[in-house]
Amino acid sequence: MRCRIEMLPKSPLKLPLHYPEIVQGLIYRMLSDKASSTQLHDHGLRQVGGKPVKLFAYSKLLGKYRIDRNNKTISILGSVDLVVTSALDEMVYDLATSLLKADRISLHGTEMQVRQVQLQSYCGRNTHNQIRLLSPVVTYRTITQPNGKKFTQYYKPGTEEFDTLLRQNLALKANALGWQVTSKDVDLSLIPVNAGAIRERIILFHGSPIHAWDGDFRLQGSTKFIELAWNAGLGGKGSSGFGVFDVFSQGR
């Protein structure tokens, strides 16, 4: 399930270009169950083999904006939407209820009127879909070098490694929900419509660069795994603001 939140700044909203951590902070603050909010932030609401699985993701701020590259800021022009999605319905209900009760919230020091909160459930039934990314998609692997130092290797859509990690990530989320599957059971592929037109986005999160990808894609697979990706996020780092998508064209 997901909620789409429409907000209107009371005064001009100016944010750093790399703002996902600010939006993440808003989400954690607005959860009414503070114990669950702390658990979600620190350890995830579910774990698989000791690995925390947060099972939520959120979009970019959606609306008209102006970028000032010299000062590395983005100014929101008018109302703005935010999509927060989770495989745990109770989290979405909690967030939506808190936002409606609050009526007004603060984002980076700017007062925002909560104009509307819409709850949405996945209703697709097709195995071939064209999707629109509402936040870029990420897959990565942490590699330990011979000297013991670790680094993060990111992968590009359309490569075998990307697809493998995409399925592994979705299997992890499925197991966190008690499905008991392996990555071999995950029937899902993300295919660039035009491989030459996809765009790399390098986004700083708490000062660390995340290499993500944007563009037009086809998402193919079984409906249950497409629905899980729609709810829990596609790929990694969903809780840092990645992997949210909408289906805008359905095939068979």
What is the mean pLDDT of the segment spanning 109-131? 94
Summarize pLDDT for 63-79 with one digit per residue, the tens. Answer: 999 999 999 999 999 99
Indicate whether 182 pLDDT > 70.
yes
Together in a domain, 104 and 190: no
Together in a domain, 135 and 70: no
User: Catalytic residue numbers?
Assistant: 28, 41
Burial of 75 (0-12, 13-18, 19+ CB in 10 A): middle
Together in a domain, 165 and 209: yes
Together in a domain, 155 and 246: yes
What is the mean pLDDT of the segment spanning 40-55? 71
Q: What domain range is 39 assigned to?
A: 2-120
Q: What is the mean pLDDT of the chain?
A: 92
Place of tokens 């022009």: 77
- Contact of 68 with 75, CB cutoff 8 Å: yes
Say what the pLDDT of residue 189 is.
Answer: 94
Say what the pLDDT of residue 241 is.
Answer: 97
Together in a domain, 214 and 111: no
- If you count them, how many residues does the chain have? 252
Rg (Cα) of the chain, in Å, rounded? 18
Burial of 246 (0-12, 13-18, 19+ CB in 10 A): middle
Say what the pLDDT of residue 50 is.
Answer: 72
Least Cα distance to 133 among 57, 203, 73 occurs for 57
What is the mean pLDDT of the segment spanning 108-120? 96
Indicate whether 43 pLDDT > 60.
no
Q: Any idea what the CATH number is for the domain that residue 150 is in?
A: 3.30.70.1900
- Contact of 117 with 99, CB cutoff 8 Å: yes
Q: Which residue has the higher pLDDT, 2 or 103?
A: 2
Using 50, 70 and 90 to split pLDDT, how confident is the model at 110? very high
In one-letter notation, the amino acid at residue 187 is D
Together in a domain, 73 and 149: no
Using 50, 70 and 90 to split pLDDT, how confident is the model at 35? low
Together in a domain, 86 and 189: no
Least Cα distance to 23 among 140, 96, 118, 106 occurs for 106
What is the mean pLDDT of the segment spanning 152-162? 95
Together in a domain, 106 and 206: no
Summarize pLDDT for 191-202 with one digit per residue, the tens. Answer: 999 888 899 999
Together in a domain, 112 and 138: no
Together in a domain, 244 and 156: yes
Together in a domain, 136 and 238: yes
Indicate whether 45 pLDDT > 80.
no
Say what the pLDDT of residue 212 is.
Answer: 98
* Domains held by the chain: number: 2
- Contact of 31 with 40, CB cutoff 8 Å: yes
Give dist(CA 143, CA 141) in Å, integer: 6
Choosing from 70, 102, 120, the residue where a domain stops is 120
Choosing from 74, 92, 120, the residue where a domain stops is 120
Indicate whether 115 pLDDT > 60.
yes
Q: What is the pTM of this model?
A: 0.92
Using 50, 70 and 90 to split pLDDT, how confident is the model at 126? confident
Say what the pLDDT of residue 152 is.
Answer: 95
Together in a domain, 188 and 113: no
Summarize pLDDT for 197-232 with one digit per residue, the tens. Answer: 899 999 999 999 999 999 999 999 999 999 999 999
